[in-house]
Amino acid sequence: MAQSDTSDVKIAGPLETALVQLDQTAELLQLEQSIHGKLREPKRVVRVSVPTKMDDGDVEVFVGYRSQHNMDRGPCKGGIRYHPGVTMEEVMALSMWMTWKCAVVNVPFGGGKGGIACNPKGMSMAELERMTRRFASELVDIIGPDIDIPAPDVYTNAQTMAWIMDTYSMNAGHVVPAVVTGKPVELGGSLGRDKATGLGCVFVVREALKTLGMPIEGARMAVQGFGNVGSWYSRLIEPIGGKVVAASDSRGGVYNPNGIACADLVAHKKETGSVVGCAGTDGITNEELLAVDCEVLVPSALEGVITSETAPTIKAKVIAEGANGPTTPRGQEALNDKGIFVLPDILANAGGVTVSYFEWVQSLAGYFWSEEEVDTQLEKVMVTAFERVHAESEKLGVDMRLAASAVGVGRVARAVRLRGIYP
């Protein structure tokens, strides 16, 4: 199968990036053309109209999507995001990455992803609820505990999942807590789910620094994107010795080479809606944050921020991708040229789907774990996944991104071979 062009100019978005990565992995693994072709295409993609009554009485029609990439290892799993930039191509790419991510940490799911193109910051809670319930009702036939289990993502949260669970349950005629994860604990959510992605990232950064012979005590961290992942990562890396020197969100960033107390960042953002202006810091842009002198850079915002243009400015020794798809293929080439150790998204931010798996298991069983049990099991999964990917990297002589993809794609490919094609 022909390989995709890897130039930043030719790559228009995350779907092209995801396909380039798959093609490179397929070549490395010498995948059969039939399996390679199957994995390049999602199993199902739906586009739905989401008419929503607004508070002023008018009806606004939004467009929603759900991509289900693969079900060979289990039901689909993946978030739902509310963002003006949501497109069908974006959710297709994200669902593909979710398939590999689930396989890297070896949980029995395939990849799904969805979203609505909207501006949630400009909507009231009542409008968000009506939009969410209408979207859930449009998806009711293709989601479920054994089919596809949504979760929170960009600008969605536990409340969003509660609305989806309730809508699905009303249609089913009984309570179905396992239809979503990331829901409130009171409705069957898991303890530790809110911090899971950030904590999983902490575990793999700790293991990476240990492997590279770098002390974590005093290691400087630059965190781009101080949302759920970035803020939890910052709060949890601090107690084990990491020092956050820069942080940012959509409005801009802050910098202090001597370190910034994470409690101050969290409190300031809660009060003002942004980290910008936090006491004792200097203002920087998101682009400048990428070039901060530090040991670990954690891009936790949106896709495509590390490119062939921005990568040469990066001074970090380690990059841990808290976001999905923050690095383009040409960006990765530039990072390799600089000898930067990259913990790719399908490994670094897999803590969220891992604890979502734990939540799904708990919801199905009706038996719930303590937060300590959740954290302990998450650590085991993330450390094992890091060790497996690093061993593959050493064995194949490739970077960690290609090694993680080889682990994930390889496991899915084996499932495809074993199951065969029906009919």
Which residues touch 127 (CB under 8 Å, ≥6 apart)?
52, 54, 55
The closest alpha carbon to 176, from 369, 364, 368, 367, belongs to: 364
Token pair for residue 343? Answer: 């913990």
Alpha helices in 30-121 (DSSP H): 33-40, 88-104
Dist. CA 247–CA 278, nearest whole Å: 10
Dist. CA 70–CA 109, nearest whole Å: 9
Dist. CA 200–CA 197, nearest whole Å: 5
Dist. CA 238–CA 202, nearest whole Å: 10
Decide: 100 and 89 in contact? Cβ < 8 Å: no
**What is the Rg, in whole angstroms, of the alpha carbon atoms belonging to the chain?**
20
The closest alpha carbon to 226, from 265, 196, 199, 260, belongs to: 265
How many CA atoms does the CB half-sphere of 357 hold within 13 Å?
A: 23
Dist. CA 95–CA 35, nearest whole Å: 17
Helices (H) and strands (E) in the chain, counts: 14, 12
Decide: 181 and 151 in contact? Cβ < 8 Å: yes
Token pair for residue 161? Answer: 């999942």
Decide: 112 and 150 in contact? Cβ < 8 Å: yes
Token pair for residue 172? Answer: 């089913």
Give φ, ψ of 186 to 5 degrees. -65, -20
Name the active-site residue from 43, 101, 113, 317. 113
Give φ, ψ of 167 to 5 degrees. -60, -45
Coil vs helix vs strand at 32: coil
113 is catalytic: yes
Taking CA atoms, 231 is separated from 194, 197, 222, 280, in Å, by 11, 10, 11, 18
End-to-end CA distance of the chain: 25
Token pair for residue 2? Answer: 């022909």
Catalytic residues: 113
